[in-house]
């Protein structure tokens, strides 16, 4: 996709969307050119990906519409769904929708519900990058869908492709008691500054940015990002508090995971945007372009070393012509300050149900503003129906000032709820099937789409996550507290869209061959660190047939409870008992019987 014309530079950050409407018109023309055979398929694939429009797999010719399984109607008997990347039918695909820092209004969520019903299967999916995805969307419908989104200030531009992906941020920014300051306006400022910027149009691969308000919690998972930003403060020579950022570069997951390196211990707030621009220019100029497997910025930082990379960035920064947009947004930080709808009131001492108490224990985040709480709405597998979206939007309007956010855990949060209103909010969430407890616990499992819809998927990550969630939920009341607080994350392949590297118990799809059969397996990855902004990655312990993963979880958690030392974390436990012992404990589960002995193990 070509860089935007000169009008791009004239767009202030708060009125970029009229230009995006013109981009949609160009995209619509490209769709027509492709239909007429006047646009190469490879070139069209690049341009649709830049607009967030993905292809989608159809392994079994069925789809779930939110109520029941339906048989897909294919054009003819000769054109049937095929597996993986070789899907031939020009079928509906997936539309990814950027939600910078995860912030949404009730109106935006209602529009998402309308689009899910009109163009998709009635279900929205929250991703591990705080995006929304709609599946089974036909490419011919995408321009109309994009216009509807633009009308409520949402874009799909650069949601995919070799671009700056959705800028994520801690969903508790602004209400967290341990944060240095609210990173929300900075995340938004950077997201829209880089959106469509000419300097980010020539990357060899994608570029992911995350913001965190503090170092110790999971928050933005800064250490696993191409560029990570942590809020910090210091006192200047005049005794005044000064805002700045710890800036990290070169992190990433996938087949070769890297921890991000510290680029700057204290970057002045006014230097955030120009430094990000300079980093982008160095990456675009020196990053790998031919070998996609080595084209992320983590490889460039590793190749050059952090000091040389920093030197090149500072040189690039010195050459940049001044841009008023670098600091213009700083004068508008107060415009993003949230406020409550109702006065703060404490939760009264009236008798409450056990279900409410469980939800209160796991799904409530007490804000630093006394008398207010943030409620986490757990979305099983990240899915939410159109009706549920409308109901959540209504709840947000009546109990908050419209403060909805998506999370990298594939959930939603409602902020600024007066604590006295929590029982009523819980009751209404229960009525729409979203009052489940367990946010942030072992039952709150993260999963990418896997083989359900992803062409790169190797195993059914959603199938495994759903099975584990059901089994663990059935005995959640009896689980040891140490086990309840563990994190499980599942990816359908090695690309780590499910973030398995930073889970206590992580799994990613692989395949193994037995005779004439290809057997779905999951590689077991243990001991990742979710806290400390994804402070360390887990260790691979071997591949196990997909159907046996629940037994893996049972054995590992059981041994952890039986043998853990006082206050020992799962990560420290895994390191102490060592990889050799773990592999020995799981050895019998890795052995695959002949197909005739147990054909059930040959599917997932």
Give which of 244, 54, 190 is closest to 133, Cα–Cα: 54
Q: Where in the chain is the domain with CATH 3.30.70.3340?
A: 354-431
pLDDT at 78: 53
pLDDT at 90: 54
pLDDT at 455: 86
* 385 Cβ contact list (under 8 Å, min separation 6): 66, 116, 122, 123, 124
pLDDT at 218: 73
pLDDT at 557: 97
Radius of gyration of the chain (CA): 24
Helix (H) or strand (E) holding 414: strand 412-418
Answer whether 491's CB lies under 8 Å from 499's CB: yes
Angle between helices 272-286 and 297-304 (to 10 degrees): 80
How far does CA 268 lie from the centroid of its chain? 28
Average pLDDT over residues 444-462: 92
In DSSP notation, 109-176 reads HHHHHHHHHHHSSSEEEE-TTS-EEEEEE-GGGHHHHHHHHHTTT---TTSSSSSB-PPEE-TTTTT-
What is the dihedral sign for C-alpha 546, 550, 555, 556? positive
Q: Where in the chain is the domain with CATH 3.90.480.20?
A: 6-56+92-150
Q: Where in the chain is the domain with CATH 3.30.413.10?
A: 176-335, 446-602
Long-range contacts, stretch 295-298, CB < 8 angstroms, 24+ apart: 295/203, 295/204, 295/205, 296/204, 296/205, 296/206, 296/226, 296/252, 296/254, 297/207, 297/226, 297/227, 297/249, 297/250, 297/252, 298/226, 298/250, 298/251, 298/252, 298/256, 298/258
Q: What is the pLDDT of residues 364-386, one digit of tens each?
A: 999 999 999 999 999 999 999 99
d(CA 149, CA 295): 32
Higher pLDDT, 400 or 476: 400
pLDDT at 452: 86
**Three-state SS letters, 1-14:** CCCCCHHHHHCCHH
Q: What is the mean pLDDT of the chain?
A: 91
pLDDT at 74: 54
Residue 283 has a CB neighbour count (10 Å cut-off) of 27
Q: In this structure, what DSSP letter does residue 220 have?
A: T
Q: What is the pLDDT of residues 82-104, one digit of tens each?
A: 444 444 445 678 999 999 999 99
Answer whether 575's CB lies under 8 Å from 565's CB: no
Candidates 3.90.480.20, 3.40.190.80, 3.40.50.12780, 2.40.50.100; correct CATH number of 6-56+92-150? Answer: 3.90.480.20
**Strand 209-212 to 227-235 pairing:** parallel
d(CA 386, CA 370): 33
Answer whether 535's CB lies under 8 Å from 548's CB: no
Q: What is the pLDDT of residues 201-225, one digit of tens each?
A: 999 999 999 999 998 887 789 999 9
Q: List helix spans (H) across 263-410.
A: 272-286, 297-304, 306-319, 325-328, 354-363, 386-399
Percent of the chain with pLDDT over 90: 81
Candidates 3.20.20.70, 3.30.70.3340, 3.30.420.40, 3.40.50.150; correct CATH number of 354-431? Answer: 3.30.70.3340
Q: What is the pLDDT of residues 122-163, one digit of tens each?
A: 899 999 999 999 998 989 999 999 999 998 999 999 999 999
Q: Which CATH superfamily is domain 176-335 in?
A: Sulfite Reductase Hemoprotein, domain 1 (3.30.413.10)
Give which of 162, 167, 172, 159 is closest to 133, Cα–Cα: 159
The yes-or-no verdict on residue 290 having pLDDT over 50 is yes
In DSSP notation, 83-116 reads SGGG--S---EEEEE--GGGEE-HHHHHHHHHHH
In DSSP notation, 458-499 reads -S-HHHHHHHHHHHHHHTGGGS-HHHHT--EEEESSTT-TT-
pLDDT at 1: 29
In DSSP notation, 34-84 reads HHTT-S-HHHHHHHHHHTTEE----SSSEEE-SSSEEE---SBTTB---SG
Class of domain 446-602 as given by CATH: alpha beta
What do you get for the CA distance between the two ends of the chain, in Å?
A: 39
Give which of 247, 57, 67, 32 is closest to 140, Cα–Cα: 32
Answer whether 351's CB lies under 8 Å from 32's CB: no
pLDDT at 351: 75
pLDDT at 12: 44
């Amino acid at each position: 996709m070509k860089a935007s014309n000169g009008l791009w530079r004239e767009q202030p950050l708060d009125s970029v969307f009229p230009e995006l409407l013109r981009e949609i018109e160009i995209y619509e023309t490209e769709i027509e050119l492709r239909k007429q055979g006047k646009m190469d398929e490879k070139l069209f694939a690049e341009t649709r990906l830049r607009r967030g429009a993905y292809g989608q797999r159809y392994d079994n010719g069925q789809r779930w519409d939110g109520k029941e399984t339906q048989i897909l109607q294919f054009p003819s008997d000769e054109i049937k769904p095929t597996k993986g990347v070789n899907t031939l039918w020009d079928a509906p695909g997936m539309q990814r929708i950027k939600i910078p820092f995860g912030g949404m209004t009730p109106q935006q969520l209602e529009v998402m519900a309308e689009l899910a019903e009109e163009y998709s299967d009635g279900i929205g999916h929250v991703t591990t990058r705080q995006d929304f995805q709609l599946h089974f969307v036909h490419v011919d419908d995408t321009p109309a869908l994009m216009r509807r989104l633009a009308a409520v200030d949402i874009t799909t531009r650069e949601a995919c492709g070799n671009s700056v992906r959705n800028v994520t941020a801690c969903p508790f920014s602004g209400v967290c008691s341990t944060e240095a300051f609210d990173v929300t306006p900075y995340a938004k400022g950077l997201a829209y500054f880089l959106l469509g910027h000419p300097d980010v149009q020539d990357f060899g691969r994608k570029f992911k940015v995350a913001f965190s308000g503090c170092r110790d919690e999971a928050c933005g998972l800064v250490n696993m990002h191409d560029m990570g930003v942590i809020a910090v403060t210091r006192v200047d020579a005049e005794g005044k508090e000064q805002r700045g950022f710890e800036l990290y570069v070169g992190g990433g997951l996938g087949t070769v995971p890297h921890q991000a390196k510290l680029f700057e211990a204290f970057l002045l707030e006014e230097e955030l945007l120009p430094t990000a621009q300079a980093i982008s220019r160095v990456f675009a100029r020196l990053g790998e372009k031919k070998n996609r497997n080595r084209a992320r910025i983590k490889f460039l930082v590793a190749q050059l070393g952090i000091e040389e990379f920093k030197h090149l960035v500072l040189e690039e920064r010195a050459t940049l012509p001044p841009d008023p947009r670098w600091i213009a947004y700083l004068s508008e930080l107060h415009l993003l300050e949230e406020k409550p709808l109702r006065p703060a009131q404490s939760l009264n001492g009236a008798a409450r149900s056990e279900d409410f108490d469980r939800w209160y224990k796991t799904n409530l985040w007490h804000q630093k503003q006394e008398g207010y709480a943030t409620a986490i709405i757990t979305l099983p597998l990240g899915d939410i129906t159109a009706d549920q979206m409308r109901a959540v939007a209504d709840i947000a309007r009546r109990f908050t000032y419209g403060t909805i956010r998506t999370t990298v855990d594939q959930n939603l949060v409602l902020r600024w709820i007066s604590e006295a209103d929590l029982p009523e909010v819980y009751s209404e969430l229960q009525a729409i099937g979203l009052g489940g407890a367990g946010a942030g616990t072992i039952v709150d499992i993260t999963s990418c789409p896997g083989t359900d819809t992803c062409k790169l998927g190797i195993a059914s990550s959603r199938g495994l996550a759903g099975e584990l969630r059901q089994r663990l939920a059935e005995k959640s009341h009896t689980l040891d507290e140490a086990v309840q607080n563990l994190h499980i994350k599942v990816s359908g392949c090695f690309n780590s869209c499910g973030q398995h590297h930073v889970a206590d118990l992580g799994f990613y799809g692989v395949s193994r061959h037995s005779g004439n059969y290809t057997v779905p397996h999951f590689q077991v990855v243990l001991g990742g660190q979710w806290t400390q902004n994804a402070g360390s990655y887990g260790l691979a312990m071997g591949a196990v047939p997909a159907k046996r993963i629940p037994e893996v979880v049972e054995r590992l958690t059981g041994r952890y409870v039986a043998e853990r030392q006082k206050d020992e974390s799962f990560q420290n436990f895994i390191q102490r008992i060592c990889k050799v012992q773990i592999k020995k404990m799981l050895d019998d589960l890795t052995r695959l019987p002949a197909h005739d002995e147990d054909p059930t193990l040959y599917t997932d």
